[in-house]
Structure 1
Amino acid sequence: MKQILSIIALIASVVFTGCSDFLEEEVRGQENLDTYFQTEEEAESFLTGCYSALTYGGWWQINKIWLLSDMCSDDSWMGNTSQDQGDYISLAHYQGTGQSNEAVANFWQYRYKGILRCNIAIERIPEAPILNQAKKSRLVAEARFLRAYYYFELVKNFGDIPLITGFLMPDKIVGITRSNVSTIYEFIEEDLKAAAEVLPQRSEYDAADIGRATRGAALGYLGKTYLYQEKWKEARDVLKTLIDEDEYDLLKNFGDVWSVDHNNSEESLFEVQYMYDGVYALGGSLAIITGARSGPGDGWSWCQPTSDLENTFIAAGDDERLKWTIIKTGCTEIAGEEDFDVFIENSKKMSSYQSYIEKYGWDENCYIVDPKDHKSARINRKFFIPYSKRPQVYNLDKIPLNHRLLRYADVLLMYAEACNELSEDATARTYLNKVRTRVHLADITASGNELRKAIRTERRLELALENNRLYDIRRWTDDNGKKVISNLFGPNGTFVQYNTNENTADIYEWENQGEPSSKGSTFKEERDLVFPIPLYEITMSNGSITQNPGWN
């Protein structure tokens, strides 16, 4: 797939130009469709456009929502306290005023653009005069997988959404209403089942096609779709099928999971492909967005890990994953960084260097994530790029670090969760402990509700800052049937109480109120289990698309 990444920038002009709303995009290039798909190359090129929608709108737009989900959880602050927080604070702090949030609006539009492209591919490729029927079937299966993925992203963020299953003209789109969550999930299930029947296994692709959708990716997302609906038996069965096919495995070292040297590894079921070859700068942006403002090749310092997350690692005795997940100010090493001296020297150039050393008692040779600019004085190690791995030190967007969307560790933990909910605790423990063994933690021996708690904690530690936590705490309930997120947030939430009490709060988070420590105090369950429908979409639909409860 790497060789077609270089034409992603051109694909948008094949049929579509940019537009501001999914209701409008159908009019773009419609005259071209009847004369397109005449060759296998055209079909493949169009499908590349379906893939490019994964990060459509530039390297910044989709990444916003991936990070925003963690900012809305107990794992992350917005972080940057030296710049305007307007795009984030209304949602990340549950203020109930995000109806016009640009990040959410862009995410909605770009996901529907992806769906539109997939709908066209699914309808037109079967009619194309391509002699290789197997290839034609595979291309359609890839499009169905991608369409399912885009709908899954939308339904878990917005709840009821418009369901558009084909290429429709504008007069057929205007007036469309939202389909309920169960209908959307049924459609996703159908697409993923169909895709899984046709898509090749990861091992069956040629090297040039690594990164395309696979049978394993389809089964993995089908399992996740079932899990989010609490269809425990269905989730267990499909995830067990995936595991038994033996196409994937955990990497030996946790530190390799997010390494630029291990893109498309045996642990990865699906990831966004990036590249940098000196000509096409199609690199990822997360290293910039989450990097420290006070480091070599300065970052923007959004989505900073919370001390609450760090404390969870410490309480679990999980030193291995902690060092590969969080970089904390005052540290004397960074996991995997062989050029740490560069970071020490950079810190020593700070005007406040000596005063910080004296105030906090840090080592003279430490790396400083400036507490005055960073809410938690911590940054995400998973997206951090070691100095020697950066093709251009001050152009981190050129880093070819693929974004891992679904990992085998997630599959194992989903399977363990489903088994536990079905009272198959012995099996649940086996697969939970496979994940723990990699990071040198003792086996869990608990059963029942205690095992459930252990699985949930393991998901938090293993998948921290990977766009999973918010959706987990939204769907999980406690022993009394109360949503876990409602125990964390709200005026009496445990996360809120911890951060707003000087006796328990982290010193860096307490001292820097550039982002208020009261994050989540205005959370309302009846409103905040989903994001608001973008106001512009409601206006464009003349009101046929309605707003989520509590967001009016």
Structure 2
Amino acid sequence: MNTKYFKYLFMGLSVASLTGCNDWLEEETPGITRLDDYFNTGSQSAAESIVNAAYTPLQWDFGSTYCAEWFIGDIASDDALKGGQNIADGGDYYDIDNFKVQADNDMLLNYWRAQWTGISRANLAINKLPELKADDLTEALRTRLLAEAHFLRAFYYFRLVRVFGGMPIVDYIVDSSNKWYPVRASVDDCYDFIVADLEEAEKGLALKSAMGPDGLGRATKGAAQAMLMKVALYRKDYPTAKSWGEKVVKSGEYDLFGDYYDNFTLPGENGIESVFEIQYMEDDMSDYGGFGFTRGTFTQILTRSRSNNLGGGWGFNRPTQNLYDEYEPADPRREMTILTPSPADMTNEAEETYCGNTYISKKQGWYNKDNTFSALAHHSRGPLNNRQIRFSDVLLMYAEALTEVGTAADLATAKTLLNRVRSRVGLAPFPYSATIQKTTKTFTDTQADLRAAIRHERRVELGMEGHRWFDLVRWGIAKQTMDAYIAQENDEAKQQWGTFVEGKNEVFPIPTQELQLGKLTQNPNY
């Protein structure tokens, strides 16, 4: 958040607080609703609107530049290259791709501001909903809406912490400039805060099956439990992660689609495999405005092939050869994740080749299984939801936790969960041998190989869905993996590569404009 958002949020209050010698300066401006008055005279509709507003920043992927999280989760990792028309297209993303990023990176600034706006709106709901007096607002609904706000605040904080490290803990309404910012808290303190919010959310949220059609896209009990498991994995608290994973899996609320690719279609949105996803819709009245200007997403046009034969997009987020080679030859997910255009598909081969790479991210480009595509109602925005947590992700996180706990019974259950994901796409159960990275890899029936097999499965099951970078960091293998990856890249890609510094590049710099607001300190070595 910056002073611009602060100004817009509180400009009504500032007008009412002006004082002076003249009587007219003491008169309240007609039509101004004070914050306390709104919550004293609100209604059920008002309560729902406040919480709905806290969901909205999840959708924001364009402010003054594009700031979808996959610009970090995919292209910072070994799964994707920046792409675009050429090397110069998208300097902010180039720097993230090649570990040359600086604090003046606008992509990071916009990402930061979107999350902090979400936190601000969640704080408004958490602090004021208990005071809302409305005859038509039941206590059951108030409880659920408060739980959703707690979930959202935790979700935004989690996104910030894993990108930037420790954040200021702000659990109140910022209604004056001297309340912004407190100092940064530690990562552990932030995770304590996130867990407390998620536990509060889990108590008050409804099951997905109880939400009904009007509740699609809202946070549910299963989403809070899945996030509690994920946070526990980040903290290497494997018994706690195991406990939360068991709750999600045994709830009976979720299952795998029979067809893997149903996850990346409009009919598959909010389906049986969806634990939490960011909602988008077709918006033919969209434009190229920034935060809050549309209900669609830029991701489809950003990631589609630049060829008019394949959607006429902008060609960002190109899957690497390394990701392609990670798939077993018989794994159908490779062709469902990576579109390989033929020479006939390409209308301008020079523009459609980036560092020798012509692969296209198929899932987020809103392609059909046969590589046909739907026209966008407006060129700038697409309608496909962003699947943040799928049930297969939950199964693999749960399997990971069980593997690290490591009892014989836990290892047996972890194998069952891993094989459930593999059997959906017709692959052999663990333990197995397969061609991976063009060599034969044998996973034996040991804890170490089960761990390696689960990590492999996460990469291919969730490829190009924005998870890979964050997995590498939390496993503590980011540097060794990225150094090994770039060593086998083509010469053109190697020429762009910066230096990965361990202890620095696992997080990104605090944006300069945010540092200038006052009390924040920069991450080490930036």
TM-score when scaled to structure 1? 0.81
Distance 1:386 1:213, change over 3 A: same
Partner amino acid, structure 1, of 2:454: I
- Residue 283 of structure 1 is matched in structure 2 by 296
Percent identity, aligned pairs only, is 33
Q: CA deviation at 1:115?
A: 0.4
Q: Secondary structure at the match of 1:319?
A: coil
Query: Structure 1 residues 107 and 351 mapped into 2: Cα distance closer, same or farther (>3 Å)?
Result: closer
**Whole-angstrom CA distance in 2 between matches of 1:164 and 1:248:** 34
CA contact (8 A) 1:327 1:378 kept: yes
> In the alignment, does 2:320 pair up with 1:311?
no
Report how far residue 90 of structure 1 moved: 2.0
1:349-428 counterparts in 2 under 5 A? 350=347, 371-372=352-353, 375-386=356-367, 392-393=375-376, 395-423=378-406, 424-428=410-414
Instruction: Answer whether contact 1:318 1:439 (CA < 8 A) is retained.
Output: no
Partner residue in 2 for 1:78: 82
Task: Tell me the CA shift for residue 47 of structure 1.
Answer: 1.3
Question: What's the CA shift for 1:520?
Answer: 4.5
Pair 1:89-2:94 in alignment: yes
| Match for residue 102 of structure 2 among 77, 90, 98 | 98
Given the superposition, is the C-alpha separation of residues 116 and 527 from structure 1 closer, same or farther in structure 2, using an over 3 Å criterion? same
Q: CA 1:112 to 1:278, structure 2 compared with 1: closer, same or farther past 3 Å?
A: closer
CA distance in 2, matches of 1:32, 1:200: 32
Structure 1 match to 2:126: 122
Q: Determine the structure 2 residue equivalent to 1:34.
A: 36
The answer to whether the 8 A contact 2:60-2:114 is kept is yes
Is contact 1:274–1:401 with CA below 8 Å preserved after alignment?
Answer: yes
What residue is the counterpart of 2:338 in the other structure? Answer: 326
Give yes or no for contact 1:63–1:286 (8 Å, CA) kept in 2: no
Q: Measure the CA separation in 2 of the matches of 1:73 and 1:193.
A: 31
1:540 is matched with which residue?
517
Aligned to 2:486: 496
CA 1:136–1:323 in 2, change beyond 3 Å: closer, same or farther? Answer: same
Comparing 379-388 with 197-206, which one deviates more in the overlay?
A: 379-388
Alignment partner of 2:523: what SS? coil
Count of residues paired in the alignment: 476
Change (3 A) 1:376 1:215: same
Residues 59/412 of structure 1: CA separation in 2 closer, same or farther (3 Å cut)? farther
Supply the AA of the counterpart residue of 1:181: V
- Preserved contact between residue 26 and residue 168 of structure 1 (Cα < 8 Å): no
Query: Does the Cα contact within 8 Å between 1:496 and 1:517 map onto a contact in 2?
Result: yes
In structure 2, the gaps of 5 or more residues are 14-32, 287-293, 432-444
1:134-192 Cα distance to aligned partner (Å, 9 max, x none) = 11111111111100000000011111111101113334424510000011101111111
CA contact (8 A) 1:321 1:439 kept: yes
**Conserved in 1, the CA contact under 8 Å of 2:83 and 2:316?**
yes
Partners of 1:428 and 1:21 in 2: CA distance = 49
Secondary structure of the structure 2 residue equivalent to 1:526: coil
Q: Cα offset for 1:61?
A: 5.4
Partners of 2:366 and 2:373 within 8 A in 1: yes
1:442 corresponds to 2:428: yes
Distance in 2, Cα, partners of 1:187 & 1:93:
33
Distance in structure 2 (CA, Å) of the matches to 1:550 and 1:278 = 45
Cα displacement (A) at 1:517: 2.7
> 2:326 corresponds to which letter in structure 1?
T
Within 5 Å, give how 1:35-434 maps onto structure 2: 35-37=37-39, 38-56=42-60, 58=62, 63-82=67-86, 83-95=88-100, 97-131=101-135, 132-276=138-282, 282-296=295-309, 297-313=311-327, 316-330=328-342, 347=346, 350=347, 371-372=352-353, 375-386=356-367, 392-393=375-376, 395-423=378-406, 424-434=410-420
User: Is 1:416–1:429's contact at 8 Å kept on the other side of the alignment?
Assistant: yes
Task: Give 1:283 shift.
Answer: 2.4
Output the CA distance in 1 between the equivalents of 2:63 and 2:279.
12
What letter corresponds to residue 256 of structure 2 in structure 1? L
- In the TM superposition, what is the alpha-carbon distance from 1:373 to its structure 2 partner? 5.1
CA distance in 2, matches of 1:285, 1:211: 19
> By how many angstroms is 1:277 displaced?
6.4
Structure 1 gap ranges (5+): 1-17, 332-343, 353-368, 477-482, 500-504
Give the superposed CA RMSD: 2.4
- Asked if 2 retains the 8 angstrom alpha-carbon contact of 1:390 and 1:396, the reply is no
Counterpart of 2:524 in structure 1 is 549
Distance 2:356 2:298 in 1: 21
Note the C-alpha offset of 1:68.
Answer: 2.8
